[in-house]
Structure 1
Amino acid sequence: MNKLSFVENRFEGVLPSSISNLSTQLTELYLDGNKISGTIPVAMQNLINLIGLGMEYNLLTGTIPTSFGKFQKMQKLSLQGNKLSGKIPSSIGNLTQLAELFLSQNNLEGSIPPSTDSLKNINSLDVSKNNLSGEIPTTIGNCLNLVYLGLQGNSFNGTIPSSMASLKSLEHLDVSQNNLSGLIPKGLEKLSFLKYLNISFNNIEGEFHPFLFFIGGKKSKKKPSSIVSNIDLLPTISYKMLHQATNGFSLDNLIGSGSFGSVYKGVLDQEERLVAIKVLNLQNKDASKSFMSECKVLRNVRHRNLIKILTCCSSINYNGDDFKALVFEFMANGSLEMWLHPMTDSDNQSKNLSILQRLIIAIDVAFALNYLHNHCEQKIIHCDLKPSNILLDSDMIAHVSDFGLSRLLTTSNDSSQKYTSTIGLKGSIGYAVPEYGMGGEGMLIQVVDPVLLPREVEGMGVATAAMMATKEDDNDNEIEVEEANNTEDFRHIDVDMQKCLLSVLNIGILCSLESPKERINMEEVIKELQMIKSTLLVRGFAKVDQVELK
């Protein structure tokens, strides 16, 4: 046995010390995405031939064993998303073959051990969202193969080491939400592969050099008193630049519109970077409030499945009128709405999303909501999540957008929760949850897209599928399928497809129960959707060659 994987199951309890009795020939062990608790057995050190160990997103406590330094063949170690505490052991520097180290989203404390400079082969290092402190070691500049470095969400102080200018391969650097001060090292401008830099929420000062787009600025203890102070953490852009980028806000560049404004496609500067420019309709009295709300939310969040704000503009147009706009990454594949409900003359009319693509998009959205609900410093409720607010990039990765109606959720000292918002209870009918808006119950016959059904049952298959009943078995939680009203033609649909559709619909029902306390949380939604996806792939039902999997 060389590889053992129990990824994305429902294993619970502690890891027994007997795990060390596994064959010494074992090279890969993956236990990610379960509910394993307790401490990491020291006896695991006996698995000396491990090159890959993954125990991320479990309930592990205790410390990282210093004995892990014996894994001298280790190339990937992932312990992120647990409840580990204590310090990062200096013995980690013994793992000279290590290429990927993921320790984010734990309760680790202390400093980054200087021994990390021995990790000559490391290309990805993520220790974000812990309780780490002290200065970022200058020896980090010795890790010359680093491509990804995540240090955000800790309490690092001091300056950004100038030695980082030696990281010639660096593409992603995030030091946001720390206590860093001083100047941005000028050497960072010469890192030709650097695509992403985030220094926001620190006390960094000095000139802004747009070799890059990034979110940067100082922390401020002042209470915002105007629109300008609400967006002062974002680098701003002039009205003239946006006017030029959109060819005078030409209708040829108009890609969408709504009650709060219009969205234009634009090309910025010499880099010819494509962007989406959301121009607020200030004649709408709620537009300015929406602008402030969206700035307030987006300046505090960063996730691969959330739309990324690049800059903003609060100025005067050529007519002397107030002008406000937000600039986002351009999403090449438009909105999910365009794909699910193409217009008759749309270029996307001939394009259909496979069941696997839809599942992947749903998982992307669930990851975004889980981040907003559970991993932000201040929890965020989107309030208007719908297909038109889910945008798809060139790789069909989903990004949740339009935070103009978002509400910030705070917890007071007495643990009671209170909602705060500047624009009241609003949202789109049919997408707002029962306690936020008005709307009727959706009919199941309108849920299953005929595109997903075989042609021989396409005519009557939607109604047929809708009459299927589901229930959960208390023993093994498996979905049972019951046919209703003589639905003989339904048997033509693959059994795995039946279970997949019913499982997804069941998740939807659990997400929309009348009582918020009874609804399934987003972490469980992610696990359930990933299990459905894994089942389809294992069964060979989904056509993998039609979609690039993430």
Structure 2
Amino acid sequence: MNFLSSLANCTSLEVLGLARNHFGGELPSSIANLSIKLQRFTVGENLIHGSIPIGIENLVSLYSLGLEGNYLSGNVPAVIGKLQKLEGLYLNVNRFSGSIPPFLGNLTRLTRLFMEENRFEGSIPESLGNCQNLQNLNLSSNYLNGSIPKQVIGLPSISISLVMSHNSLTGSIPLEVGNLVNLGELDLSQNKLSGGIPSSLGSCVSLERLNLEGNELVGTIPESLKNLRGIEELDLSSNNMSGVIPEFLSKLLFLKRLNLSYNDFEGEVPGEGIFSNASAISIIGNDELCGGIPDLHLSACSKKKQEKPLKLKVIISATIAVVFSIVSILCSIAIIRMGKKSRKKSSKAPLSEERQAGMSYSEIVKSTDGFSAENLIGSGSFGSVYKGTLSGDGKTVAIKVLNLEQQGASQSFIDECDTLRSIRHRNLLRIITACSTIDHQGNDFKCLVFEFMSNGNLDKWLHPKADEQDQKKRLSLIQRLNIAIDIASALDYLHHHCETPIVHCDLKPSNVLLDEDMTAHVGDFGLATFLLESSRNPSKNEVVSATLKGSIGYIPPEYGMADQVSVLGDVYSFGILLLEMFTGKRPDDEMFIDDLSIHKFVAMALPEHAMNVIDPTMLEEEENDDNEANEDEIEEKAIIRNSNAQANANRIEECVISAMRIALSCSSRAPGKRMTMNLVVNKLHDIRDSFLRSKNRS
């Protein structure tokens, strides 16, 4: 960046745009000599490291400063607070640390402040409430704690987006959130927020996206949310909310995605509106729900026996002679006892408490039809997986039967049980029960019973057999992005949101299961490792030996040098998996010989030849979306498609290149150069959202 010193003589320079290149090194102190008329200075998405030079305070005319997507570190210097004309400040996706500086409140002209994906810690300063023109604020994916200041969340000027997700914020959501009447997006997910959803949130009538997932919220869904008539996406999953699902949610005409999974909701699921589309809602993990459309596969709602009307009882008691009063009392007691028995029976969950506590060997044999070949759906290192049907409620499950003659199978069973009992996430395969007993010959028998994933594993979709290569076994570009986000979200949860961080150690396509909505669930925790404090802190003596945990092609190179297990090992496996998803090639493909690997194969192709190395089937799916259109609509779409062919190609290419760059970063041989999974999740979300927005515009 030293060439910047040569621009000191450009005294009329107003715009200097250097973003999206390969500039490296540090920002030189010579930027202090740039024109005082400079209004826009952008160096985002380069390879710049170091700190922000103090001399930047001389650029007093700046209204836009873009430093995003670099490797800048250290504290944000106080001199930034002197740039009084700043309207846009982009510090996101760097390595800034320390607290969010209170002096940012001096920048009263700010409309856009982006600080996500850094290492900021401490509380959010109340002084940000002085930025009375702020429209877009993103503080996500940092290490922030404490409560959300009411001065900030109550800023009525914030109208585009307010994102504070993936931090450790605590306390309740302030009532002042109701001031955001023009806000389009509110994302407070993946924090530690408690209390109920404030009824004042119903005043945010312009909300299109509301995400409160992954907190500790309690109580019911407030009736005031019926005022959010323009809401398109609502995610309240993974909280502790309860009560019935309110009927008004079915009346929200623009609602396209609703996630209420992993709460304690009960009662009947509505059948109209968004609830008539099983692919648009998620309600798993609420064991007391019933009814709804057949596609939800919930049990029917039981009607409790009606007790005699109180009025009738009064009449009877008034007319019956005293001599029969004892008989009446006895009858009443009998009726009450019968009512209790009836209620107790009707309140049982689809899986009884007895079954949840464990299934017998006989039940396992019966459910799999004697472990028949027709029910065999897969096999792995330590056993086989069968499709089973539970006798009690007819629920379809997947049963993993351990081959105890295989060395390590018993320990794998114990490890998987230890792991699965302590985790719960929408993108992790949910265990129903376990069985450890003896078979009819007196031999040890162990199995795990999971939710059945109707679309099998990802490996079968990426690499279908010759007789399966039809339309049903192809994944579109957007499907691959969604699956990648699901997998990344699961790993982010394991690495950063469990009480004791967990390393999966065996991430590969065959361990990623797809449900009927093509939502991905990471499974097979037989090699998972709890990351103890000693293994997280290299300064301590104890380490967790890697012992080559994983599968060939996905094992991080440092494990081969007896390095310790770490979350960055999972990141490497994810990077290889992501490359496989976009190229359609396995990491051990026969083309990868000598020093050529799937990582190097893609790295050499980017960016100019990215489209030459991708799996072409995902582009066929992107173009094949007219199945239900009439002839006029198809012709009209064909005209539009032809006129925008180059724009569409550019849109797809940009998306693919961005995703592959993340994959390359994750699969770097040097662990220190790999992204953390919380950053990966956010970057993939941005790529997908940008792709969908440009697709909708075209």
TM-score grouping bracket, smaller chain normalisation: 0.5 to 0.7
1:47 and 1:102 map into 2 onto residues whose CA distance is 19
Q: Which residues in structure 2 correspond to 1:393-412 (within 5 Å)? A: 393-412=515-534
Structure 2 distance, partners of 1:495, 1:340, is 24
Tell me if 1:506 matches 2:661: yes
Alignment of structure 1 residues 248-259 onto 2, 5 Å: 248-259=370-381
CA distance in 1, matches of 2:244, 2:472: 52
CA distance in 2, matches of 1:499, 1:315: 54
Partner AA of 2:156 in structure 1: L
1:245 aligned partner: 367
* Aligned partner of residue 664 in structure 2, secondary structure: helix
For 1:261, which of 379, 383, 393 is the aligned residue? 383
Q: Deviations over 1:433-456 (max 9, x none)?
A: 1122489x99x99886379xxxxx
Query: 2:235 and 2:461 mapped to 1: Cα distance?
Result: 37
Deviation of 1:235 after TM superposition, in Å, equals: 1.9
1:325 matches 2:447: yes
Alignment of 1:265-414 (within 5 A): 265-346=387-468, 351-412=473-534
* Conserved 8 A contact 2:432-2:451: yes
When normalised by structure 2's length, the TM-score is 0.51
Gaps of 5+ in 1: 1-5, 24-28, 131-135, 153-159, 176-187, 197-205, 218-232, 452-461, 471-480, 544-550
**1:77 Cα deviation from its structure 2 partner:** 6.1
How far off is 1:341 after superposition?
1.0
CA, structure 1 residues 350+318, in 2 after alignment: closer, same or farther (shift >3 Å)?
A: same
- Partners of 1:431 and 1:80 in 2: how far apart? 30
Q: Conserved in 1, the CA contact under 8 Å of 2:458 and 2:513?
A: yes
Considering fraction of residues, name the structure with more helix: 2
1:42 and 2:151 matched: yes
Q: Is the 8 A contact 1:504 1:529 kept in 2?
A: yes
In structure 2, relative to structure 1, the CA distance for the partners of 1:208 and 1:300 (3 Å cut) is farther
Q: Percent identity?
A: 37
- How large is the RMSD of aligned CA atoms in angstroms? 5.4
Matches of 1:190 and 1:506, distance apart in 2: 42
SS across alignment from 1:302: coil
* Alignment-mate amino acid for residue 349 of structure 2: F
CA–CA separation in structure 2 for the residues paired with 1:541 and 1:72: 26
Structure 1 residue 345 displacement after superposition: 3.0
Stretch moving more, 40-49 or 264-273: 40-49
Does the Cα contact within 8 Å between 2:189 and 2:212 map onto a contact in 1?
Answer: yes
Equivalent residue, structure 1, for 2:553? 430
**Distance in 1 between residues matched to 2:582 and 2:284, nearest whole Å:** 42
Distance in 2, matches of 1:388 and 1:46, equals 47
Q: How does 1:58-73 map to 2 (within 5 A)?
A: 64-68=173-177
Return the alpha-carbon distance in structure 2 between the equivalents of residues 463 and 81 of structure 1.
Answer: 31
- AA matched with 1:497: I
From 512, 527, 530, give the equivalent of 2:682. Answer: 527
CA distance in 1, matches of 2:237, 2:603: 49
Moved more, 358-367 or 509-518: 509-518
Aligned-partner SS, 1:345: helix
Taking a change above 3 Å as real, the CA distance of residues 265 and 435 of structure 1, as seen in their structure-2 partners, is: same
Query: Residue 525 of structure 1: CA displacement?
Result: 1.0
CA deviation digits over 1:191-248, x for unaligned, max 9? Answer: 667969xxxxxxxxx999852349x89xxxxxxxxxxxxxxx9621111111111111
Q: 1:117-176, CA deviations, whole angstroms, 9 ceiling, x for partnerless residues? A: 79345698959789xxxxx9xxx7699669988898xxxxxxx9xxx97x655996979x
| 1:535 Cα deviation from its structure 2 partner | 3.0
- 1:457-501 per-residue CA deviation (whole Å, 9 max, x = no partner) reads xxxxx999857554xxxxxxxxxx3469x99xx999933333333
Which residue identity lines up with residue 426 of structure 1 in the other structure?
A: K
CA distance in 1, matches of 2:668, 2:599: 23
The offset of 1:12, in angstroms, is 1.7
Shift of 1:306: 0.7
* Structure 2 unaligned regions, length at least 5: 1-88, 94-113, 117-124, 227-233, 250-258, 271-281, 300-343, 562-571, 586-597, 617-644
Q: Which has the larger radius of gyration?
A: 2
Out of 488, 495, 502, the residue aligned to residue 650 of structure 2 is: 495
Residue 95 of structure 1: how far off its partner (Å)? 5.3
Report the number of matched residues. Answer: 440
The aligned runs of 1:136-285 (5 Å cut-off) are 211-213=349-351, 235-285=357-407
- TM-score under structure 1 normalisation? 0.63
Q: 1:35 and 1:401 mapped to 2: Cα distance?
A: 28
Q: Name 1:156's counterpart in structure 2.
A: none
Cα pair distance change 1:337/1:127, threshold 3 Å: closer
Equivalence for 1:55: 163
CA–CA distance in 1 between the matches of 2:535 and 2:155?
A: 47
How much has 1:510 moved relative to structure 2?
1.2
Equivalent pair of 1:42/1:65 in contact (CA under 8 Å): no
